[in-house]
Each structure stands twice: as structure tokens, then as C-alpha cells.
Amino acid sequence: MAAEDRPIVIVGCGPGSAKYLTLAALEAVNSADVLVGAQRLLDLFPGIAGMRIPVEKGIEKALNGIGRHLGDGNIVVLVTGDPGLFSLARLVVKRFGRRNCRVIPGISSVQAAFAAIGLDWGDAAIISAHKKDPEIGTDWYRYDKIAVLGGRESSLRWIGERLLPDQGNRRVFVCENLTLEDETVREIDPEDLSELVASPRTVVLIIERNVLE
Ligand SMILES: C[S@@+](CC[C@H](N)C(=O)[O-])C[C@H]1O[C@@H](n2cnc3c(N)ncnc32)[C@H](O)[C@@H]1O
């Protein structure tokens, strides 16, 4: 099956601002008969006529919704950032198979975070603390740059209490609401991290001091 004929298109919508949508994403969404995604992503596309399936807490419900509409034209599934980085895309591809899915990349929140502090990130480690405290081994020590997806209430506490104490001489940047009007990027004292309340859209960068000098 040619990529264009696959019934499910998974679209990376970037970190949240419409300015960071790609033309390919817009083209896919414009041809959607069924649009599936979190409400804030659906809101990025107010003018689309197709049916809308909001993804709420139960992802299973959304997957069943996609299943019910297979064969009803183009199904477009919206995900935050890039589909390849800790997104709903994995579950959609697992349920419906790669042969039925086309993936359109998007700008990740991790890209936006590194861009905000002007640092390249090809050698960075990326950890998700988005859903739960991750299990980590000791090999994180060898990375000079670590990005943590930290948009959960207790993620910052986990970083402050579990990850940072083992990380030596690091600087910590808390990047909230990237690309949005209320974007903030601030360096904080690692000791203050545990007590910090941050946005559900937060990436924390932990950078070896020498890298920034
Ligand atoms: C389920 S993960 C999705 C990651 C996404 N696929 C990506 O490439 O950015 C959700 C996490 O993305 C991060 N995130 C998404 N949008 C963000 C934004 N505008 N600013 C900062 N972090 C954001 C937060 O760390 C949040 O916990």
C-alpha cells in the first residue's frame, strides 16, 4: 500500500503554537474526514469540517473510535510534538499496524527546549517522566545533556530527588509552555527543583556545566 493510501495519518503538531505546524501537517489535517486528538490540539484547527473525536483520559476509547471509523475516509490522529517521541502514535501503530498508518513528523518539545538555550542535542539523552517516574540505570551519568519530559505534577520532584543527586556538576533549565505566548525558560538552582510547581507542558534540561562554557 502506498503511503498516501494508508487510512490513518498520525500528525505531529509541534509543541503547541500554530506557528510551529508544518505544511505537511496542515495538508493532512485539511483532508481529514475524522480528526482525533486532545482537545487543545483539535483547537489548533477550528475550520476543519470532519468529525472530531477528542482524546480524553481513556486512550482506549479513542483507539476504539478510530477502529469504528476505519473505512470512513481519512482518519487523522493529532499528537503533540513529534509522533516518534513518547506519543499516542505508538499505541495507534500497535493497534492498527504500520501498514495502515502514515506518520508525519513534527517539531518536538525537546527540539524547542534545546533551541531555546541555543544548544545542539544530537548527543542528548531523553527521558520521559510524563506518565510516571521512570526506571533509570546508572548509564545516564555519561550524558552531558539530558532532557526530561516533565509535564506531570510530581516529575520535578522525581528529577530533584532521584536524578539530580547523581548528576554531578550540572545546570538545570526549566522550559515551560514552549512556543506558546506564556513560554518561560529559566535556569534554576538544582536544589529548588523539588519544590517547584511547573506547567503540564514542561521540559527540564540538565546540562553538564562545561558544555555551556
Ligand atoms: C506525552 S509527551 C509528548 C512528547 C511529544 N511527542 C514531543 O515530541 O514533544 C508530553 C510531554 O511533552 C512535553 N511538552 C509538550 N508540549 C510542550 C511545550 N509546549 N512546552 C514544554 N514541554 C512540552 C512535556 O514534557 C510533556 O510532559
DSSP calls for 141-200: GG-SEEEEE--STTHHHHIIIIIGGGS-SEEEEEEESTTSTT-EEEEE-GGGGGG----S
Q: Which grid cell is 206?
A: 540538565
Report the relative pairing of strands 8-12 and 101-104 from DSSP bridges: parallel
Q: Which residue would you say has higher pLDDT here, 10 or 7? A: 10
On whether the CB atoms of residues 27 and 45 are closer than 8 A, the answer is: no
Total-model pTM: 0.94
Please report the atom of ligand 1 found closest to the CA of residue 113: 21
Please report the atom of ligand 1 found closest to the CA of residue 150: 25
Write down the pLDDT at residue 20. 98
Q: Does ligand 1 have an atom closer than 6 angstroms to the CB of 74?
A: no
Residue 72 has pLDDT above 70, yes or no: yes
For residue 49, the 8-state DSSP code is: -
Write down the pLDDT at residue 166. 62
Write down the pLDDT at residue 83. 98
- Identify which of 135, 106, 111 has the alpha carbon closest to the alpha carbon of residue 203: 111
Q: What are phi and psi of 156, to 5 degrees?
A: -65, -35
pLDDT digits (tens, 9 = 90+) for 162-182: 887 666 689 999 999 999 999
Find the mean pLDDT for residues 135-144. Answer: 81
3-state helix, strand, coil in the chain (%, to 5): 35, 25, 40
